[in-house]
Structure 1
Amino acid sequence: MTTPIPSIEGKTTVNVARERAFELFTGHFGAWWPRQYHIGSVEVADVILEPHEGGRWFERGVDGSECDWGRVLTWEAPERIVFTWQIGGDWQFDPDPAHASEIEVRFHADGPEQTTIEVEQRHFERLVGGEGVHGAIEHGGGGWVALLAAYSGLVAGEAGPA
């Protein structure tokens, strides 16, 4: 039996309706995902999360090359998505779904124009080299707290001044 590795969580609140918060998170991943976080051999042009169960989560390089990161497991717009992280400790895509951590994102409407987004990345023990991946995400770049700060910046710029 594998020893569980703790989840990494993040939370933020944005001043847009839940439907728009969901659409900006899922449909504009490349607009808020930090460009330095990629596994391809070339600079990132975009990060794409295909909008359906079974869809791909991947990066597209400036040369058109693509590198898979995971798959969409659950698509319940605008409430929740679950997708896999299939990047092991060697920082390469692992096509075996048994070697995947999961990222669950929940969108809670706090009012007509405010949404709280909660992220949990779990099951790092499934990854080959999962402890190293967990440490790199949690300590190397600020984890989902930092990623959600970048997302919140996109939303704030899109929503305009309060």
Structure 2
Amino acid sequence: MTDASVRKSVTVEAPIAKAFTVFTQDFDGWWPRNHKIGEGDLKQAVLEGKEGGRWYEIDTDGSECEWGRVLAWEPPTRLVLAWQIDATWKFDPQLVTEVEIRFIPEGPGRTRVELEHRDLDRFGEAQDQTRAAFDSPGGWSGLLESFAQQATA
């Protein structure tokens, strides 16, 4: 068994309010098209900006695939998302792991973004393989790099 969390961070040349806005309101602009769970091609990645909101995908065939919900909405410093996608990359309403994103100012035009995906032990026997996927270059670090490119553009 490994640590039940994956932690990643990135620093962007953007004020905290812009970093939060790009991460949330411009979510579709930086979320990679190959990070999806639906059968069709990803048309839009949606993050509803409120506690209790959903985050999900809309595919080119019009179908929606749930990813989870917004557990905490504290602009511009903190966001917590429920990740409800299982180890086979399918939505599971019974599974809830948490993705917390913190936005920390490092000056007027610079923000450190720290991400922690926790409660990975809830994946049971698949926790080590799932953690490895989240911890891989194609996992959270790659997603944060994609976000960073958009935030500094």
TM-score, normalized by length of structure 2? 0.92
Equivalent residue letter for 1:41: E
Equivalent residue letter for 1:147: L
Q: Does 1:139 align with 2:136?
A: yes
- Tell me the residue number matched to 1:156: 152
- Tell me the residue number matched to 1:21: 19
Secondary structure of the residue aligned to 2:142 is helix
Equivalent residue letter for 2:145: A
Q: Sort the Cα spacing of 1:140 and 1:148 in 2 relative to 1 into closer, same or farther, 3 A.
A: closer
Equivalent residue letter for 1:73: L
Pairwise CA RMSD of aligned residues?
1.6
User: 1:30 & 1:42 partners in 2: Cα distance?
Assistant: 16
- Tell me the residue number matched to 1:95: 93
- Tell me the residue number matched to 2:84: 86
Secondary structure of the residue aligned to 2:132 is helix
User: 2:8 & 2:137 partners in 1: Cα distance?
Assistant: 15
User: 1:138 & 1:76 partners in 2: Cα distance?
Assistant: 26
Deviation at 1:155, TM superposition (A): 1.4
Deviation at 1:130, TM superposition (A): 3.2
Q: Which blocks of at least 5 consecutive residues in structure 1 are unaligned?
A: 158-162
Instruction: Say whether the 8 Å CA contact 2:56–2:64 is kept in structure 1.
Output: yes
User: 1:149 & 1:12 partners in 2: Cα distance?
Assistant: 7
Deviation at 1:5, TM superposition (A): 4.2
- Tell me the residue number matched to 2:63: 65
Q: Does 1:109 align with 2:105?
A: yes
Equivalent residue letter for 1:123: D
Instruction: Say whether the 8 Å CA contact 2:135–2:141 is kept in structure 1.
Output: no
Runs (4+) off by over 6 Å? none
User: 1:84 & 1:4 partners in 2: Cα distance?
Assistant: 21
Equivalent residue letter for 1:135: A
Q: Sort the Cα spacing of 1:20 and 1:100 in 2 relative to 1 into closer, same or farther, 3 A.
A: same
User: 1:46 & 1:17 partners in 2: Cα distance?
Assistant: 26
User: 2:78 & 2:10 partners in 1: Cα distance?
Assistant: 15
Equivalent residue letter for 1:126: R
Instruction: Say whether the 8 Å CA contact 2:18–2:151 is kept in structure 1.
Output: no
